[in-house]
Structure 1
Amino acid sequence: MTQDPRDDSKTTIYDVAEHAGVAISTVSRVLNNSRDVSDSTRETVLKAIQKLQFRPNRTAKSLAQRATRTVAVAVPTFTTPFHNELLKGVRSELDGNDLDLLLCDLSWEAPKATLKKFLARGAMDGLLVAGLPVDEEIAGELSTLGAPVVLVGTQWDDMDSFYWDEEPGAEMAVRHLIEQGHTDIAMITTPHDGNRLRNARVKGYRAALEAAGLPFDPDRIAQGETAKHDGFSEESGYEGMQVILDAHPDVTAVFASSDVQAIGAWQAIRHAGKSVPDDIALIGYDDIKISRFIGLSSVAQNMHDVGEEATNVLLQRLRRANAGRTMSKLIRPTLRVRKSTGGEDVPVRD
């Protein structure tokens, strides 16, 4: 008996794409029953799948059979307020659905490698991926799951996605400071130039200044040294504010690229004997829950609502209640003005 030298357990979507002579994204479309594939191409891919005996890497049981009731959420970390808000929305939508929730900590250091290992276990019926930029490689890996996938924070064809346009939100925040009469405005961001959130929010900061006829000074963009959470932390915000206070003592307003950085900056301002907003106006980004209690102005991303809505879409896919084309939703930012930029200190209602 002749044994096929190919080890079926190691057959990947890349093997299928190579055998069929198509892109990985095309195989992904076939696996996800997308309509954006010609009949001839679909037939070619299906023949390659059959010949290579490729099987999506997931358990054979399905939610529809009421055998496995597990959905998974993969996020860079569970400990930041931003992701906590998102997970609360996920949990809220899952309540009453008799589903188990499996969490994957992707980590900031090696998210792609961690996701691959997680997918290899295959013990899930649906997956929500948040905060991970998707490229051709990751899209191919997600397709091997053979289960519904919803993306949060990034966009990709053939996958349901909810994403934010960061630049307009940052521009909105800085424009608000300008409308309050500030002309010397600094920014606190992360030290990582490759971070897409950082770069988009810096662009928004610059666009608002230039639209108002104010000079853009790269020296007024500061960051801390603390690297945890990719620089989005209270410690990093505190350190960045110290840099601003030392180098640019005449600054009257600061835009922090996250609320946690703004909270750290607020403490640094206090320790310098100054007050918010009388000496320095301060605005953050994300609008985490604590911002409402301390009176921090912020740009809201509505993470709780997004978590609920994304989970609802995932559940619909699992129930096959929404078998049409994939959806892609842009979440519009909203400005929340509070006492840190001169707004009213209104009661908090959760």
Structure 2
Amino acid sequence: MPERSPGSRPTIYDVADEARVAISTVSRVLNGSNEVSEATRSRVQDAIRKLQFQPQRIARNLAQQSTTSIAVALPSATSMFFVEMLKGVKDALRDEDIDLLLCNLGSATPYQTLQRFLNRGAVDGLLLMSLPIEGDVAEQLLAFQAPVVLLGSRHQGLDALWWDDREGAQMATTYLVEQGHRRIGLISAHAWSSNAAPRLEGYRAALDEAGIAFDPALVAAGETTKHAGYSEEAGAEAMEALMSLDDRPTAVFAASDVQAYGAWSHVRDAGMVVPRDVSIVGYDDLKLSRFLDLTTVTQGMQQAGHQATQRLLHRLRSSPSDERVDVQLPLSLAVRGSTAVETA
């Protein structure tokens, strides 16, 4: 076939030539088919990266008027945390003639799922929530021929809105210290969660600042692995371990609100009362937390979803050369009835 003119977009034919395979093989790779050997799949993917190939986005026309579509890719479409952010997305799109697609990345193979989605190239814009950007995925996002906005993570060259998890955890733990607590537990997520390490660091920083020795026995994660341990079940399991200690904590910081719900449930089932017997602080400020009277770190997820979507809409209407934004989102502490001054 004729050589591609300088400056023109690479096509599926160029990828096939570069990888020395048939066009049908490239198509199978792009669609995630299992009918391709790993060696061939690797060769095609190398060609895609080398040529920075992206498939043409799906053309949909009605009476010569095209419809814009954007996608939200997120680790879980059912988690209350992400549901809060999706409310903000919906609000931002209320008056827009835009189709919204959801890509549920899951927790098992989120990067592979995202790569398959990107290879389809079927959207005009992408909002990616709470997934650290690294390796091949970073290359694909930077080469994606549609605007990309990150929410809850950062990468140079991409618009990003993010929270400082270390700062939030330090804020929560410092508050408990100020209430007179010296024996403070932490309910953590599992280590593979991108939020686990910075929230542990913030917890330890607050203890160190107060002159309180770090005790690893006071850090617990539940056995349940769903949502990397950010679940009610994991919160209850971790709280059971903490409250079984001979020198149990007088206060517990849970690294998410849903963990705090589970922790509170265990305390109640054990015949104890919050905050009389133990104070509990969460992290997120889900809508339910306001009704349960949970003290928690407020992230403003709905506002964040709205703000990130507005940024994506701006990208769709502006020049690709516009300067990228890197926005640290604010955190605050909502003090409610689940915490009390330690008087012992």
Q: Tell whether 2:243 aligns with 1:242.
A: no
Distance in 1, Cα, partners of 2:45 & 2:158: 16
1:186 partner letter: G
Q: Tell whether 2:188 aligns with 1:189.
A: yes
- 1:91 Cα offset (Å): 0.6
- 1:77 Cα offset (Å): 0.2
Secondary structure in structure 1 of the residue aligned to 2:211: coil
Distance in 2, Cα, partners of 1:329 & 1:93: 18
Aligned pairs (5 A) from 1:316-327: 316-320=314-318, 323-327=321-325
| Paired residues of 1:12 and 1:144 also in contact (CA < 8 A) | no
Q: Which runs of 5+ in 2 are unaligned?
A: 3-12, 27-42
Distance in 1, Cα, partners of 2:129 & 2:246: 36
Distance in 2, Cα, partners of 1:129 & 1:62: 23
Distance in 1, Cα, partners of 2:45 & 2:255: 38
Aligned pairs (5 A) from 1:75-114: 75-114=74-113
Show CA shifts across 1:168-197 (max 9, x none).
11000000001111111111112x223221
Of stretches 247-256 and 267-276 in structure 1, the one that deviates more from structure 2 is 247-256
Distance in 2, Cα, partners of 1:329 & 1:178: 30
Change (3 A) 1:313 1:12: farther
Aligned-residue sequence identity (percent) comes to: 42
Q: Aligned residue for 1:45?
A: none
Q: Which runs of 5+ in 1 are unaligned?
A: 19-48, 344-350
- 1:120 Cα offset (Å): 1.9
Distance in 1, Cα, partners of 2:106 & 2:210: 39
Out of 280, 285, 288, the residue aligned to residue 286 of structure 2 is 288
Q: Aligned residue for 1:163?
A: 162
Work out the number of aligned pairs and report it: 307
Q: Aligned residue for 1:200?
A: 198
Q: Aligned residue for 2:124?
A: 125
Distance in 2, Cα, partners of 1:203 & 1:98: 44
| Paired residues of 1:59 and 1:124 also in contact (CA < 8 A) | yes
Q: Tell whether 2:288 aligns with 1:277.
A: no
Aligned pairs (5 A) from 1:292-331: 292-320=290-318, 323-331=321-329
Distance in 1, Cα, partners of 2:298 & 2:227: 20
Of stretches 113-122 and 302-311 in structure 1, the one that deviates more from structure 2 is 113-122
Aligned pairs (5 A) from 1:25-174: 55-59=53-57, 61=59, 66-174=65-173
| Paired residues of 1:68 and 1:125 also in contact (CA < 8 A) | no
| Paired residues of 1:163 and 1:330 also in contact (CA < 8 A) | yes
| Paired residues of 2:162 and 2:329 also in contact (CA < 8 A) | yes
Out of 251, 266, 269, the residue aligned to residue 268 of structure 1 is 266
Secondary structure in structure 2 of the residue aligned to 1:97: coil
- 1:157 Cα offset (Å): 1.1
Of stretches 77-86 and 315-324 in structure 1, the one that deviates more from structure 2 is 315-324
Secondary structure in structure 2 of the residue aligned to 1:247: coil
Distance in 1, Cα, partners of 2:114 & 2:273: 44
| Paired residues of 1:13 and 1:144 also in contact (CA < 8 A) | no
Out of 255, 259, 265, the residue aligned to residue 257 of structure 2 is 259
1:219 partner letter: A
1:146 partner letter: Q
Change (3 A) 1:8 1:319: farther
- 1:315 Cα offset (Å): 0.5
Change (3 A) 1:134 1:342: same
- 1:213 Cα offset (Å): 0.7
Change (3 A) 1:311 1:253: same
1:228 partner letter: K
TM normalised by structure 1 equals 0.82
Distance in 2, Cα, partners of 1:12 & 1:157: 27
1:239 partner letter: E
